[in-house]
Amino acid sequence: GAVVSQHPSRVICKSGTSVKIECRSLDFQATTMFWYRQFPKQSLMLMATSNEGSKATYEQGVEKDKFLINHASLTLSTLTVTSAHPEDSSFYICSARDTNGSSNQPQHFGDGTRLSIL
């Protein structure tokens, strides 16, 4: 089945550090990938839609200069949290759907990245 790999799984770093998270579709191509953030005991909130070869589409209230997204190939999207602060500590999860699959193909999620900013 479709596999989405996300790396790293956990990051602990000092305030002011920039952190890059990678999301890869391992056995399918994805022209679109999605980045979510989840705070403890809350739902997944869509941050942005990553579009291969073009600019990402950000949801309302998400700072595009704070959360930089690059989707340089059909199998890789990266999210960079720039100058991270403690309030950015959260569980970040990416998802992707097989572009070449049927319209009923589900979105598959990576294992998530737990970001802790000290």
Enumerate binding residues for another protein (CB under 8 A): 6, 32, 34, 42-46, 49, 57, 93, 95, 97, 103-104, 106-112
- HEC sequence for 46-70: EEEEEECCCCCEECCCCCCCCEEEE
Looking at the Cβ atoms of 9 and 18, the one nearer to another protein is: 9
Tell the smallest beta-carbon distance from residue 109 to another protein (Å).
5
Decide whether 82 or 114 has the Cβ nearer to another protein: 114
Q: How many CA atoms lie within 13 A of 107 on its CB side?
A: 13
CB of 55 vs another protein, minimal distance in Å = 13
User: Least distance to another protein from the beta carbon of 83, Å?
Assistant: 26
List of residues 6+ apart from 35 with CB closer than 8 A: 23, 46, 47, 48, 49, 50, 67, 69, 77, 79, 92, 93, 94
Q: In the complex with another protein, which residue's Cβ is closer, 34 or 117?
A: 34
